[in-house]
Amino acid sequence: MDELDALRGMRTALAEEEHPDRIALRTDWRARAEVRPRRGGRAPLGRRRGFRMPLVSLAATAAVAAGAVTVVSVQPDAAPEEATVAQGGNVLLVAAANAQKAPAGKYWHVKRISGEIHAVGGSAANHYKVDSRQGGEGWAERGGKAIWAHIEYSDIPLTPEDRRKWRAAGSPKWAKIPNSEGGDAQMLLDMASPTQQGTPAWYPADDRYFGLTAAQIAALPTDPEALEESLLDLEGDWHAYSRNRNPEPIRALRGQERVRALSDVTQKLLSMAPAPPKVRAAAWRMLAAQPGVRAEGATTDPIGRRGTAVSLPLETTVPLGLYTAPKQLGTYRRQLIVDPAAGTLLAVRDLVATPPKGSRRLPPGDDGRPRRLEAADMPDRFHRPGELAGYEVYQVTEWTDAEPRR
């Protein structure tokens, strides 16, 4: 592992006597590197509802740019070595140490919110931003059988200033926005309906997480290097930009494309997938070893929880499928928001690097008519660099013995 090599170079004697995680907690080798997050493509995170097409599947896995690295608090009863300042890449190693100590249970319980930020209005000088949200809550048994309830949230102004502008516009219950799928039809944001949670329903035990069943995830290696070796065999269309979809294993990729694919799978293991505590710990350590993964400092996630921002050096983060990278007209960078003390992934957020510009042809729509994507159709057409474009929040990610809510 890259981080172990660096740690051993600093404290050779200690490396022979102590576990690498303990050494990592006392050093700041990755924090000393200059932070230069690369620009990357955006992944819309979640499904739109009602008048809007779904943006990505559950396989996709996102506020302001984070500040300087700072002290991250840990549990009051943590061991002395775990109460050390967590800096740089060590944030992920602290998260790994704490994830490994989490209790196991009968069910994997997840509750999440996905949001995409839409600009409502006709110009950069006269518009307000709306957070278009929806979510879900689910439980998965170790054998794979799962139950899921969809949650409909009302769309809300993003900031107090956006709420002021919305009220000045007459507090419309429905907000019209351009069709980001191309074409003349407009879409609507629902600013009126109250939050509603659907009735949970069990579905068959054949759910897949990047092709892996729950049983296969439970059997994944708990050593980070062995875990990476295993995940490199996963097949998919991993390329950032691709005209022809040709599945291939991750190990066929190089450089940023391999980091991108591994980080997508890691994000799934740390959020939606029923990964045991030791596998989750290995996933954190594997992510920490990837080149260019950097902590950017203390921040809050989209629902106000404190954590540490970790940037991924990705050329793009758009998962291929129905909604693909060629449909993006801007560039984006992705951050994970991590709670090292709990060993959990709090959220993923995408920040605008360069606003949309230009246009691009799209395949014909359902009616067979040609379409063209224009920058004026994009939800973030008036965003400035560094502003939030989309996110996914994991309110709950835990193993529990509590029975699912019916």
CA distance linking residue 404 with residue 336, whole number of Å: 28
Taking only the tens place, the pLDDT of each residue in 234-274 is 998 777 655 566 789 999 988 888 898 899 899 999 999 99
Count CB atoms within 10 A of the CB of residue 38.
14
pLDDT at 322: 37
pLDDT at 192: 80
Contacts (Cβ under 8 Å, ≥6 apart) of 120: 127, 128, 129, 130, 166, 169, 175, 176, 177, 189
Write out the two tokens for 249: 């294993």
Confidence at 195, pLDDT banded by 50, 70, 90: confident
391, 104 Cβ separation under 8 angstroms: no
CA distance linking residue 55 with residue 296, whole number of Å: 28
| Mode of pairing for the β-strands spanning 331-339 and 235-236 | unpaired
CA distance linking residue 282 with residue 273, whole number of Å: 14
Residue linked to tokens 């050390």: 84
Taking only the tens place, the pLDDT of each residue in 376-393 is 888 899 999 999 989 999
Q: How far is CA 368 from CA 55, 327, 359, 371, in A?
A: 20, 18, 20, 9
Helices (H) and strands (E) in the chain, counts: 9, 17
254 or 85, greater pLDDT = 254
Beta partners for residue 374, in sequence order: 359
Let me know how long the chain is. Answer: 406
pLDDT at 78: 34
Element (H, E) at 392: strand 388-400
Confidence at 204, pLDDT banded by 50, 70, 90: low
Write out the two tokens for 388: 């939030």
Contacts (Cβ under 8 Å, ≥6 apart) of 220: 212, 227, 230, 231, 269, 275, 279, 282
Single-letter amino acid, residue 316: T
Taking only the tens place, the pLDDT of each residue in 88-118 is 458 999 999 999 999 989 999 999 999 999 9
Average pLDDT, the chain: 75
Residue 54 has pLDDT above 80, yes or no: no
